[in-house]
Copies of this chain bind each other. A is one copy, B any other.
Amino acid sequence: MVALKIILTGHGYNISKKGGLLVIARADGSKKEVSIGNVSMVLANLKGLSISGEALRLMLKHGVPLILLSKDKPVGKIQPMMLKTHVRLRKEQVKAQEDARRFKIASTIILNKMLNQMKVLKRISKTRPISEQEVIDEKVQQIYSVYKDVSESGIDARSWLLSKEAEASRHYWEALAKIVPKEIGFTGRKKKYENPEDPLNVSLNYLYTLLMYQVWYAVELSGLDPFIGYLHEDSNRRPSLVMDLMEEFRQPIVDYPLIRFLLKRKIVEALDDSRRLKDSFRKELLQLFFNTLEKNVTFMNRAAPIKAQIRLQPIRLARYLLNHADRYICFDVVM
């Protein structure tokens, strides 16, 4: 069991350094020491925060992002001085939006997402009663026919790709709705702005946000512009490349571990009266998420923790954009 990698709840933290350890103390006298090597990100509320220069130096040196929150919303961040960049990469990133690479990347992401969805369903299916297995298999077949549609058509309209993605995802979430316990009340996927009231949707939205920060940071470290993407529409408020690169991680890093967790654990009190995650349940989700990030997997002939694979993917995309690799391959390991 690894330590929590993130501080989200409450305020009044004092962050200092002792050797290679981050020392996190609170006004009530509680204290935690974490080796910097085990920390992938720190989120801290500004209220009552105090932080030492040596702790900042340790985080900067190990590439650990510090996100500063005000009332749980990110308002600032500490990051290494960007004293160099990769100018040709930035330009190729823009140019690729207007040539054949855009469609290649977009369709690769969509097709891989469908493959991952089928993998998750098949994996879960094995542990279910025969009657459920048949329903799941049917959904897998439906996703597969969408997959074939996309891979064989060669239609390079992004709106069409996105409609196909929505179709596959509908089958995927319908299958999962049949699997998760009825008490959870999950009837279909609902995003944050749709105000879901069941713990699965609320948990998914929470974990996808954590995943977004991980991918965002990886994109920034790679030198790519988070806001110039290929599948998702350009937006000044949504970093489309981060959205693009999140797709391949949603199923293996969030969906599959979360569903397994919910199947094992009876949810007694996940949400409070206003349909928000209770602190105790949120801590369990954090533990689940950051344990997953530490898992070693082999991908592209490289064995590394998932958090490192997340860091590597934007770099691999950059190689493709710079013509140092002949294609971009999405993450597809469902453990």
Which A positions have Cβ atoms within 8 angstroms of B? Answer: 11, 44-54, 56-57, 60, 67-68, 70, 74-88, 90-91, 94-95, 97, 225-228, 234-237, 239-240
Q: Would you call B51 and A46 a contact (CB within 8 A)?
A: no
* Nearest-Cβ distance from residue A46 to partner chain B, whole angstroms: 4
Known interface pairs A56-B68, A91-B94; 8 further A-B residue pairs with C-beta atoms within 8 A, sorted by A's residue number = A46-B57, A49-B53, A76-B78, A76-B79, A78-B78, A83-B237, A86-B236, A87-B228
Interface SS, A side: mixed
Most buried by B among A11, A74, A82: A82
Q: Would you call A53 and B60 a contact (CB within 8 A)?
A: no
Given contacts A53-B46, A228-B91, contact A77 B67 (CB under 8 A): no
Q: Would you call B54 and A52 a contact (CB within 8 A)?
A: no
Q: 4 closest Cβ contacts across the A-B interface?
A: A49-B53, A46-B53, A87-B234, A60-B76
* Nearest-Cβ distance from residue A294 to partner chain B, whole angstroms: 25
Given contacts A81-B77, A84-B236, contact A51 B54 (CB under 8 A): no
Q: Would you call A75 and B81 a contact (CB within 8 A)?
A: yes
Q: Would you call B50 and A49 a contact (CB within 8 A)?
A: no
A227 and B78 CA atoms in complex are apart in Å by: 20
Residues of B within 8 A of A76 (CB): 56, 60, 78-81
Q: Quick one: which of B53, B75, B82 contacts A80, CB cutoff 8 A? A: B75
Q: Would you call A94 and B90 a contact (CB within 8 A)?
A: yes
* Nearest-Cβ distance from residue A159 to partner chain B, whole angstroms: 18
* Nearest-Cβ distance from residue A11 to partner chain B, whole angstroms: 8
A60 and B81 CA atoms in complex are apart in Å by: 17
Residues of B within 8 A of A52 (CB): 49-50
Residues of B within 8 A of A81 (CB): 67-68, 74-77
Residues of B within 8 A of A235 (CB): 87
Q: Would you call B60 and A54 a contact (CB within 8 A)?
A: no
* Nearest-Cβ distance from residue A13 to partner chain B, whole angstroms: 8
Closest Cβ neighbor of A16 among chain B residues:
B50
A77 and B46 CA atoms in complex are apart in Å by: 16
Residues of B within 8 A of A84 (CB): 236-237
Q: Would you call A77 and B79 a contact (CB within 8 A)?
A: yes
A95 and B235 CA atoms in complex are apart in Å by: 18
Enumerate 26 A-B pairs (CB-CB under 8 Å) in ascending A order: A11-B53, A44-B53, A46-B57, A47-B53, A49-B52, A49-B53, A50-B50, A50-B51, A57-B75, A60-B68, A60-B75, A68-B78, A68-B81, A74-B83, A76-B79, A77-B79, A78-B78, A82-B226, A84-B237, A85-B227, A85-B236, A90-B225, A90-B227, A90-B228, A94-B94, A225-B225
